[in-house]
A and B are shown apart, each in its own frame.
Chain A
Amino acid sequence: MAAPIIYRDIETPNIRSLAVYREKGGYKALEKALNDMSPAAVVEEVKKAKLVGRGGAGFPTGLKWELVSKDPATPRYIIANAEEGEPGTFKDRPILEQIPHRLIEGMAIAAYAVGAEEGVIVCRGEFMEPARILREAVAEAEEAGLLGERIMGKDFTFRVWVYRTAGAYICGEETSLLEALEGKPGMPRIRPPFPVNSGLWSKPTALNNVETFSNVPNIILEGADSYSSLGTEKNAGTKGYCIAGHVNKPGVYELPFGITLRDLIDNHAGGILDGRQLKCVFPGGASSSCLTPDNLDVVLDFPSVAAAGSMLGSAALMVVAEPTCMVEVSLRLARFFRHESCGKCIPCREGTCQTVRLLDGIQRGTGRKGDIDEILDLASVVRQSAFCGLGQACINPVVSCIKHFRQEFEEHLEGRAACCRKEEG
């Protein structure tokens, strides 16, 4: 199925260039917004489309923009979150590298809607190549009068620049990202105040994920009704589902919300790698709890995955087949969070270290009898007391592995697991 919205035309040769993007109807949505719609009407249309954020939290985008537009403080800012740090997520990169003008157009429409004159695309440090492509695209758009002063002859000014943070997963969290953009360590700020009121340099800021912005041109051009005819009742439109790990055809598949996990694995991702047996799936990246084969019929929208006991997050589906050791899987995820904990608050900084220590002992068979339960206790303390989303979610995946595969943990602890013996000594 050809990608209907976000990645539409991505296969077109050289769609990265402004000329080809415009041939395919690019910047027509911006033109329509500027000519035929008031800023409030744009916000209204996005609300009506029921667009929710694609960065992980699923917050309604129209509402966010309304809050920014109603804050009297100026200047206001538009920020595209191009951190793409959640393990298993690789849906924004193709937009940045292959069809950057869709993002820029979406940001310009947002700027018009909320009354912002400046926008920043904030890339993760490792995105040197995407950042270069984006800078070229911005320069092209400026040259053509699509960014800058008096865009399309209207009383509308909007400039965009591209920024790179320097390698820290926490910078994907919106307030950490703002700290990094202000030249500081990316440690989260207390919320409230939320970025909509106090964002970049304490000014009202509409901060959205790259994929979120990339839906906007379609909503404006085709209308909210056409857009929300795709998807489920709660989640309109399409999603760039990332699926990787043990599947035959890992990739990003843009599909309407409402597809089931089974359908995605079997009919899009080519089934489980080499015909192996499915063991579990982390549906929303490293911060999500795993789902077992019993959950194959779960619908992949935000409420349904939550009802199944996990979260869709950025729709980063990491698929694990038999015979993978779940203690090792837990350790990989736990080490990731230990490495990425920003250190601001003790529950997370200590909790992530202790989780790794306990898991390591379990894997080596040198742990104590109560260590598995100790991880569960620790997890509940950290979940309740951590300062930001990283700490609140980070032990969930380990807890879910213990819940579904406890026997494997016990076998390791008792030195009966064959899979990890080689690690001894």
Chain B
Amino acid sequence: MSANVQVIPESTRERLRELFERFPRKPDALLTALYIVQEDCNNLASEVLDELAAVMEMPKSIMYEVVTFYHLYSTKPRGRNIILICQNLCCYLRSSDEIYQAVYEELGIRPGETTEDGRFTLETAECLAACERAPAMMINEKTFGPVDPAQVKAILKKY
């Protein structure tokens, strides 16, 4: 890649500048900065972090540590929609395994995988604080539950 092609677009850099106005020390803003960049660049791949390291004026290694520590950041390409299905106890007791299976039957993906058309990525989730609606599932920002395996197809259709 030639040095002057930016993977983090100017519009994202502008969002970051706005963010840094609120944080006197840039590194304090790292978690939020990563969200912004992930939102605009799809994921936090190595070349993205290289550029962000320059913007944040901090070592890439530290950023990488943070990215890999938290579940909601990804260094791999992600689908346009992220599905999270709770696998913790309350949802298990209400048959969440069947929701995983229903998603598999509909989309052919297991946790950690992305559909070939890039429409969906499926991830496991721990308790989503929605146990009264178990089994619970999130797509992007929205929480669904109790999810009936038979409804999965219709829910996915909306995305």
- Chain A interface residue count: which class? 35 or more
Interface flag for B27 (CB, 8 Å):
yes
Query: A93 touching B31 by the CB < 8 A rule?
Result: no
From A88, A165, A340, contact of B31 by CB (8 A)? A165
Say whether B49 faces chain A, with CB atoms less than 8 Å apart.
Answer: no
A-chain residues with CB within 8 Å of residue B92 when the two chains form the complex: 328-329, 332
A86 contacts across to B, CB distance below 8 A: 127
A90 CB within 8 Å of chain B: yes
Q: Any chain B CB within 8 A of the CB of A166?
A: yes
Which A residue sits closest to B68, measured CB to CB? A185
CB of A36, distance to nearest CB on chain B (Å): 35
Residue A92 lies at the interface, judged by CB distance under 8 Å to chain B: yes
Cβ–Cβ < 8 Å partners of B141 in chain A: 128-129, 132
**A residues near B66, Cβ cutoff 8 Å:** 183-185
Contact between B88 and A242 (Cβ–Cβ < 8 Å)? no
Starting from the known contacts A183-B66, A320-B93, 18 additional A-B residue pairs (CB-CB under 8 Å) come to A84-B129, A86-B127, A89-B127, A89-B131, A90-B129, A90-B131, A124-B129, A165-B31, A166-B31, A185-B69, A186-B69, A242-B131, A244-B131, A286-B88, A320-B89, A332-B88, A332-B92, A336-B127
B142–A129 touching, CB < 8 Å:
yes
Interface: A167 (CB within 8 A): yes
**Closest B residue by C-beta to A91:** B129
Asked whether A183 lies within 8 Å of B90 as measured between CB atoms, the reply is no
In the complex formed, the residue of B with least CB distance to A319 is B93
Question: Measured between alpha carbons, how far is A186 from B73 in the docked complex, in Å?
Answer: 14
Are the CB atoms of B126 and A336 closer together than 8 Å? yes
Task: Check A87–B30 contact: CB distance below 8 A.
Answer: no
A245 contacts B93, CB within 8 Å?
yes
User: Which residues of the partner chain B approach A92 to less than 8 Å between Cβ atoms?
Assistant: 129
20 chain-A/chain-B pairs, Cβ below 8 angstroms: A85-B127, A86-B127, A87-B127, A88-B90, A92-B129, A127-B129, A163-B31, A164-B32, A169-B126, A183-B66, A184-B66, A185-B65, A185-B69, A186-B70, A244-B132, A250-B134, A282-B89, A320-B93, A324-B93, A339-B126
Verify if B107 is at the interface (C-beta below 8 Å from A).
Answer: no
B158 within 8 Å of A (CB atoms): no
A246 on the interface (CB 8 Å rule)? yes
